[in-house]
Structure 1
Amino acid sequence: MITALLRSPLRRLLPLLALLMLAACSSSAPQPWRLTDISGHMPDLDFNLVDDGGRAVSGRDYRGKVVLLYFGYTHCPDVCPMTLAQLHVVMQRLGPLADDARILFVSVDPARDTPAVLHAYVNAFDPRAVGLTGSPRAIEALVKRYRSAFSREPPRSDGQYEVSHSSAIYIFDRDGKARLLATPAHPQDDLVHDLHLLLAAPGH
């Protein structure tokens, strides 16, 4: 099932793969980060969506917080809940510093993921998680902005369907600058290490 969820059109994922290679080769100087450094390779945190309380929000509403942006959906059978469960453990390990972090779970299934559905879902994992939804056009624009990808699978006989999506976690600093990218291949310790550095650094 995990393989099916991670399957996205390769053509649409090539820009993200190229970004990872560019970031890895951009500097030979020692870096403090264990995750992939994407500083200067991704745009600032910017969107206009609706949060899980039904409020219109933008990227600027999260300035001052370290943001972990993840694209998923509430009917996801394994990848999304495993990722959110891991991020909850990461937040616990960060202790009081985690109060200055926010997990933004952007639904790629806005037809089913209403604000109320998202609220119940994300809060089952961590109180610092916020569900975000919006129009299909707004979601698609945000996905493209960060060179991610998703596609809806054909409906089953019962009318239900799955959504294949990429599984990267985009991390932004307190100023809304894209700084790091994590994948399922990164150990939890790496997330804790790099988030500790970002959270301990003051915003500008």
Structure 2
Amino acid sequence: MSPRAPISIALVLCMLLSGCIGDEGTLKFEGTAISGPVAGDFTLTDQDGNQVSLRDYSGDVVVVMFIFTRCPNVCPVTTQNLGEVADQLGDEMDGVTFLSISVDPEYDTQERLKAFAQKHGVDWPHLSGTLEESEKVWENFGVVVEKSFIDSHGEENQTENNSDNPSGENDTDDSSDGHEDGDGHDHGEEANYSVGHSTVMFILDRGQHKRIIWSGDSWVPEKVVNDIRILLSENH
């Protein structure tokens, strides 16, 4: 055995046992990683009538999800999945905040948001505001809202699929001007997401930079938990 062999073996063991190959080799995001800017502050009203500002949660990992209460399929699924994320995080939720923001503010009153949250067994802030206030938040996150799609899901359609979309999924046009790595993860700026509303969820780091995007309703709670834990472990 050459003199260098023990050193090489020790180095490999170090990599395997203590993770000394560096963060990029040991901590991998499951969602789409983006090099987003700091999210702009906003103030909206929650389901209990409280004023809620993003800056209130500086120092937390913040998950921002866009919903509307008469959404027939995706929003209930993603809300329940996020509830499962909270359950899996347990005590770690002390450093995590969830915010659900309405893309249908003219319909989503405080009472309707409260009923939606209670129906799905969750208690984090569900936010709405005036149309002007809401539009500023949507623009901040690159969310494109098609009001005609949302209006097609009136109360009578809450349990029905969109007739133009038999799959029951929101029609999504996700695009990005960034680049993808070998895993299909986009590391550019965040995309504009156009759906009847944007079925997109952002995860902000402790400094409130936009870091991770999850879209659609097929994501697995365990993978979102992984991403949140990575951000919790970072210094900012």
State if a TM-score over 0.5 links the two structures.
Answer: yes
After superposing the two structures, state which structure 1 stretch, 59-68 or 131-140, moved more. Answer: 59-68
Structure 2 residue aligned with 1:130: 125
Residue 190 in structure 1 maps to residue 185 in structure 2: no
Q: Sequence identity of aligned pairs in percent?
A: 31
RMSD: 2.6
Local SS of the residue matching 1:68: strand
Structure 2 residue aligned with 1:145: 140
Deviation at 1:108, TM superposition (A): 1.1
CA distance in 2, matches of 1:160, 1:112: 14
- Write the deviation string for residues 106-145 of structure 1: whole angstroms up to 9, x where unpaired: 1111122112321232244354521111111111121111
CA distance in 1, matches of 2:83, 2:214: 15
1:30-179 map, 5 Å: 32-39=28-35, 41-153=36-148, 164-179=196-211
Structure 1 residue aligned with 2:9: none
Structure 2 residue aligned with 1:10: none
- Write the deviation string for residues 45-72 of structure 1: whole angstroms up to 9, x where unpaired: 5212112221222211122322111111
Local SS of the residue matching 1:70: strand
In structure 2, list runs of 5 or more residues that go unmatched. 1-23, 159-194
Distance change in 2, residues 1:96/1:128 (3 Å): farther
Q: Which has the larger radius of gyration?
A: 2
In structure 1, list runs of 5 or more residues that go unmatched. 1-28
Corresponding pairs, count: 173
Structure 1 residue aligned with 2:175: none
Task: Please report the TM-score for the alignment, with normalisation by the length of structure 2.
Answer: 0.64
Cα contact 1:153–1:161 (8 A) shared by 2: no
